[in-house]
Structure 1
Amino acid sequence: MARVFRSIFTLKRFRRQLANVDALPQLCVLGLVSGMITGALMVGFRTMLSLGASLYMPEGSPETFEQLTPWVRAGLPLLAVLLIGLWLGRLTPSGRKIGIAHVIERLTYHQGRFLRRNWFTQWWVGLVSVLGGLSAGREGPAIHLGAAAASGLGQYFRLPHNSLRVLVACGTAAGISASFNTPIAGVIFAMEVVMMEYTITGFMPVILASTVSGLIAQLAFGFEHAFQISDIALGSLANLPWIVVSALGIGLLAACFIQVARTATRLQRLSFGVRCALVGVLVGSAAWFYPQVQGIGYDTLGLTFSGHPAVDVLLAVAVGKLLLTAFTVACGIPVSIIGPILVAGGAAGALFGLLGNQLMPGMSASTTVHAMLGTAAMMGAILQAPLAALMALLELTHTPNMMLPGMLTVVVACLTSRQLTGSKGFFNSALSGSRHPLQHPLMQALSRVSVPAVMERNLVRTRRMITPAAAHKLLETNPVWLIIERSSQKKPLLALRGSALARWLIEHETPIRQGHRDYQRIDLMEIPGQRLELAPIGLQATLSEAFIALQDESLGALYVVHGRHLKQRRISGIITRGAVERYYQYSDRSLTAPRPKGRGFPIHGEQDIGT
């Protein structure tokens, strides 16, 4: 019985199942495991924050900067940028990349594979930036640590790259869920901002990961609401016009944030040490007068919801904290921005609420309503992620009756910011000015499947010169392809149809049987038949990787290799242009007339003869 079980549930079989687009049960298993791993990591990260804060922060909380003396809270950012600068200064520019933008970059250009050095850098910068009083959140570290850990699980077991993409989304959602008890917001953020697609195959594993991770965090810290807000409602539809005006104003602030953050290219003329010093001095100077600009600021946001902060504090948070966060990012210190922009958005919304009460006494909605709507509007406008912003508003405040005005506010703010800056999302715009590769529907579809799902496995390897007897032996298994090895390793492998060799043997059967001198050896490079020049591709690669590789006009197909060591690598199959084409093209032959064979996508090369 045990032997039968092992024969059914093998790692090799599991990998092969994951290569297909419909590997939902296998992906759900990975979602559960990645949720457990990420949940444990987030418990560790939050515990380290608490332990660090207990050393010098009042009440042992990383949010109580207001209770520190002005000298201490102004000096902390200088110490933080010194520690971060010493760590990042010895790294290459690529080694300094962390946070959400790094997660999207690795998913887009590296098939979801992460570097270990950046992962450790995220631990250090994430802890120091929050505990050191910079305007930073813990969402970025949660997402990076969770996504990289989940992806590391797939890399360790050498799973197909299409499953790594789902694992990255699982780690992203699980990180947010465990950090803030917002499992739905985590799922939506992972699909809307990171994956940028909505599929059943993607949703279910991500939901499982978010659920498991959130349960682990609740077991460790208990269930607690981020903000305690009593029942609150819009009151009257007459408030909607002023809410639209408020959303326009917050959209303008979001556009300002993006523009300041984009000044990084101008600041590159300064040395990294000078940029770090500038950040430390500016944050420290602001913190001397307004400590509310430091840290994540959720304590300040809670007071904003209750209507307690003074107008000058709201201005310092709405403008000062927002600009300090943008300037810190522009200077190359990779802090998390989501927490600070939520806090700044709440303060900006409260200011618009106060202004509305002055202009329309007794008619405008309360400052709490405007503050709540401001958090979602600012997040949605900067990230261009309206659904994630609405879910964050719902789960952080537990006020479902705010969804209707929230939707209106988020849409108006998103449109305002987008039209002013042309931004399609802060993190996506940070990668490149061109269209994001994951936004191409074809590339999305091809990324969901790995090459083992469509490759031709029936092949044999052979030398160029063979005897007729060896040729007959090669054809015993009816191979579709013959892989011809060349005399030099520098020359590419070639693929020849097995049917071409079989046809040649039939046509020359008589002279071969008679032992004619010219037919004692067969040159596979000389017999009639089209030979495809091959290039290698990994067994874990997706069809999108194969698609890109086949853009080379000199290539006819790819041979799929596997094995850890170069000398031990084996060829598992061949993938042709026709195999890729048949995956994403559909034609109902009962409704359409037969068409000539073609590639179906704009690449150049020889005519496809793939199966």
Structure 2
Amino acid sequence: MSNSNPHRFSLESFRRKLASVDALPQLCVLGVIAGVITGCLMTLFRMLLKLGAMFFMPDNDPEAFEQLTPMLRSALPLLAVTLIGGWLALHSGGSRHQIGIAHVIERLTYQQGRFPIRNWISQWWIGLVSVLGGLSAGREGPAIHLGAAASSGLGTALKLPHNSLRVLVACGTAAGISASFNTPLAGVIFAMEVVMMEYTTVGFIPVILASFMGSVISQSVFGFDPPFQKAGVEMDSFIHLPWIAASALLIGLLAGGFVRLARSASRLDILPFALRLGLVGVAVGLTAFWYPEVQGMGYDSMRLTLEGNVAVDVLMAIAIGKLILTAGAVACRVPVSIIGPILVAGGAAGALCGMVGNMLLPGVHTDPALYALIGMAAMMAAVLQAPMAALMALLELTHNPQLMLPSMLAVVVACLTARQLCGCDGFFISVTRYGMHPLQQPLMQALSRISVPAVMERNLTRTRRRLSYEQASALLDANPEWIIIERSSDDKPALAMNAAHLARWLLEHTADDVLIDAEGMFDLLEIPGERLELAPIHLQATLSEAYQCLNENPVDALYVVHGRRPDKPRISGIITRSAIERYYRYEDQSTTKNR
């Protein structure tokens, strides 16, 4: 006879395992599924870009703005902001409709990684229109939002605990970048460094699987070709290092200016949103009339830069104009994606620095292509304050490990310049406390890795406040740890009583000496012993949510709600402040030992 349990592989069992901190096999399964979903979504997004380009772009290339007539490419941004503004007015009623990477981090910080479907749908439309419409925008923002929200939506539909939703968001982020740019390792580092803001083994492994699956699906459809690969680009002498450091200093200042300009949105909010949209469209359109290279992602311009086929004035338009146009769009609350534009602007700035180096050091040959590639990494690292993600992106975009040594110096100098001289945190870090974003705080990181079912006390029973001696004795038959006392009014908090206190009281009293009323009942609240006031929390919540709930409500413990019966909520367990503190101390000790 088989001893297998028919419920062993049930969804309920899967949820319960995910609630604990060591649910690595279950998270790996979710990582694979999230990678497949995100890979398919990004394949569809890239196909839609090509489909849209078929109607008006030469060679069906969504970045061939240089081949359009000056009037057409100048009119496209105005049409784009009109379509974006109309969509936002119709579906969100205003300009504060959030999409993109900042939205992903905000939902992960304050909503445990749950996303509204309305914003997800808007991301499709705005992502396609902003790129095809010639705004200075990339496709990595849509990639991250679409992947993270779809992966999280899978967990929400399955009612998975919120600690697993956080990992699913990271999986969708990594797979989105991997599928969009064929950079699987950079996708993993970006997800952990910029979005999750932590490095854990339990988080890394499923995210790696998701990024792998996303890249496999993308490469099976579009093939693989590193966009910025060029043979022979390397630093041939250490004599270049001082000028590389000086160039990175300049790029760090440009990055700091970009972040400050992009964060000036509050000053522009006095203007009507329609006027701000018009300003963005006019600014991009006028610039594109003479310099179409500022439009779109700009990867084609970057490839020409590496080949040395871009004039100095065009490089200046990309390095400065593209930064200003992108930051201005963000400041006007036009939800464009920034990473593609800043990579290209950093590359142009680096190429200019390489040309200046040739003039200042005529005896030393300086390859502008080397400085262009280093400038890409330096700009990305400085704007995002994500040095590892920038280095990995450069490595995978170029397939040139010879660039790593000089790029490490440039990334460090640029990051320090933007942070210390310009006072800029990472572009997507908008709220800090004690110098840290909420996702970076050690306590909340540890408590977010586990959900309440893994810590709560399940051995409980519930009863009315008044009951007979026999009923009180019957409550103890199942040896409960806690007794939940229901109150007569919903506005009064439920109470939890330690069952040991009732057991001791029953041993010290008999039915004859209990003070009862005419109905033969006595009041549990009159029994000596500690009683904890309770507030509800749902079964999917993480310990960080439970901790915040305890701090926000004047209660001593929480009862865990799992669904609802026709007349009252179903209670699955109880969690106390001391249980949360015990878990955190254990986790902290385990982490210290592992170090």
Which category describes the TM-score, using the shorter chain as reference length? over 0.9
C-alpha spacing 1:433/1:84, structure 2 compared with 1 (3 Å): farther
In the alignment, is residue 24 of structure 1 matched against residue 24 of structure 2?
Answer: yes
In the alignment, is residue 539 of structure 1 matched against residue 539 of structure 2?
Answer: yes
Q: CA deviation at 1:88?
A: 1.1
Aligned to 1:251: 252
Contact 1:141–1:336, Cα closer than 8 Å, also in 2: yes
Contact 2:171–2:210, Cα closer than 8 Å, also in 1: yes
Q: CA deviation at 1:432?
A: 8.6
Contact 1:240–1:405, Cα closer than 8 Å, also in 2: yes
User: C-alpha distance in 1, partners of 2:112/2:198?
Assistant: 16
Aligned to 1:549: 549
Contact 1:536–1:561, Cα closer than 8 Å, also in 2: yes
SS in 2 for 1:96: coil
Q: CA deviation at 1:509?
A: 2.0
SS in 1 for 2:525: coil
User: C-alpha distance in 2, partners of 1:493/1:403?
Assistant: 60
C-alpha spacing 1:3/1:164, structure 2 compared with 1 (3 Å): farther
User: C-alpha distance in 2, partners of 1:433/1:120?
Assistant: 36
C-alpha spacing 1:181/1:567, structure 2 compared with 1 (3 Å): farther
Aligned to 2:507: 506
Contact 1:458–1:573, Cα closer than 8 Å, also in 2: yes
In the alignment, is residue 359 of structure 1 matched against residue 360 of structure 2?
Answer: yes
Q: CA deviation at 1:365?
A: 2.6
TM-score under structure 1 length normalisation: 0.93
C-alpha spacing 1:452/1:418, structure 2 compared with 1 (3 Å): same
User: C-alpha distance in 1, partners of 2:367/2:282?
Assistant: 36
C-alpha spacing 1:500/1:519, structure 2 compared with 1 (3 Å): farther
Name which of structure 1's ranges 495-504 and 332-341 shifts more when overlaid on structure 2.
495-504
Unaligned residue ranges in structure 2 (runs of 5+): 590-595
SS in 2 for 1:460: strand
Aligned to 2:206: 205
Q: CA deviation at 1:323?
A: 0.5
Q: CA deviation at 1:116?
A: 0.3
Name which of structure 1's ranges 183-192 and 491-500 shifts more when overlaid on structure 2.
491-500
User: C-alpha distance in 2, partners of 1:565/1:318?
Assistant: 62
* Correspondence list, 1:462-501, <5 A: 462-501=463-502
C-alpha spacing 1:255/1:510, structure 2 compared with 1 (3 Å): closer
Aligned to 1:529: 529
Aligned to 2:593: none
C-alpha spacing 1:333/1:530, structure 2 compared with 1 (3 Å): same
In the alignment, is residue 298 of structure 1 matched against residue 299 of structure 2?
Answer: yes
| Matching residue's letter, 1:70 | P
In the alignment, is residue 274 of structure 1 matched against residue 281 of structure 2?
Answer: no
Aligned to 1:80: 80
In the alignment, is residue 160 of structure 1 matched against residue 161 of structure 2?
Answer: yes
Aligned to 2:59: 59
SS in 1 for 2:199: coil
Aligned to 1:596: none
User: C-alpha distance in 1, partners of 2:399/2:94?
Assistant: 41
C-alpha spacing 1:381/1:58, structure 2 compared with 1 (3 Å): same
C-alpha spacing 1:385/1:74, structure 2 compared with 1 (3 Å): same
Aligned to 1:10: 10
User: C-alpha distance in 2, partners of 1:92/1:492?
Assistant: 38
Q: CA deviation at 1:455?
A: 0.3
Aligned to 1:123: 124
Q: CA deviation at 1:66?
A: 0.2
Contact 1:353–1:364, Cα closer than 8 Å, also in 2: no
Q: CA deviation at 1:503?
A: 1.1
C-alpha spacing 1:482/1:165, structure 2 compared with 1 (3 Å): same
C-alpha spacing 1:433/1:45, structure 2 compared with 1 (3 Å): farther
Q: CA deviation at 1:410?
A: 0.3
Contact 1:101–1:431, Cα closer than 8 Å, also in 2: no
Q: CA deviation at 1:89?
A: 2.1
Moved over 3 A (4+): 1-6, 92-95, 430-435, 515-520, 564-569, 586-589
* Correspondence list, 1:227-376, <5 A: 227-376=228-377
SS in 2 for 1:561: strand
SS in 2 for 1:428: coil
Q: CA deviation at 1:468?
A: 1.0
Q: CA deviation at 1:586?
A: 4.0
SS in 2 for 1:525: helix
Name which of structure 1's ranges 485-494 and 308-317 shifts more when overlaid on structure 2.
485-494
Q: CA deviation at 1:520?
A: 3.3
User: C-alpha distance in 2, partners of 1:264/1:404?
Assistant: 37
Contact 2:245–2:413, Cα closer than 8 Å, also in 1: yes
C-alpha spacing 1:588/1:336, structure 2 compared with 1 (3 Å): closer
Contact 1:74–1:285, Cα closer than 8 Å, also in 2: yes
In the alignment, is residue 45 of structure 1 matched against residue 45 of structure 2?
Answer: yes
Q: CA deviation at 1:525?
A: 1.1
Aligned to 1:449: 450
User: C-alpha distance in 1, partners of 2:71/2:566?
Assistant: 59
User: C-alpha distance in 2, partners of 1:191/1:43?
Assistant: 23
C-alpha spacing 1:85/1:94, structure 2 compared with 1 (3 Å): closer
Q: CA deviation at 1:234?
A: 0.2
Identity of aligned residues (%): 64
Unaligned residue ranges in structure 1 (runs of 5+): 590-611
Q: CA deviation at 1:469?
A: 1.1
Q: CA deviation at 1:431?
A: 8.1
Aligned to 2:592: none
User: C-alpha distance in 1, partners of 2:516/2:428?
Assistant: 70
SS in 2 for 1:7: coil
| Matching residue's letter, 2:441 | H
Contact 1:65–1:294, Cα closer than 8 Å, also in 2: yes
Contact 1:96–1:118, Cα closer than 8 Å, also in 2: yes
Contact 2:432–2:438, Cα closer than 8 Å, also in 1: no
SS in 1 for 2:430: helix
- 1:46-96 deviation digits (Å, cap 9, x = unpaired): 000000001110000111000000000000000000000101123145861
In the alignment, is residue 33 of structure 1 matched against residue 38 of structure 2?
Answer: no
- Give the number of aligned pairs: 588
TM-score under structure 2 length normalisation: 0.96
SS in 2 for 1:563: strand
C-alpha spacing 1:293/1:430, structure 2 compared with 1 (3 Å): farther
- 1:249-305 deviation digits (Å, cap 9, x = unpaired): 001100110111111111000000000000000000000000000000000011111
C-alpha spacing 1:433/1:277, structure 2 compared with 1 (3 Å): farther
C-alpha spacing 1:588/1:443, structure 2 compared with 1 (3 Å): closer
C-alpha spacing 1:220/1:516, structure 2 compared with 1 (3 Å): closer
| Matching residue's letter, 1:556 | D
* Correspondence list, 1:383-398, <5 A: 383-398=384-399
User: C-alpha distance in 2, partners of 1:587/1:41?
Assistant: 37
Contact 2:96–2:333, Cα closer than 8 Å, also in 1: no
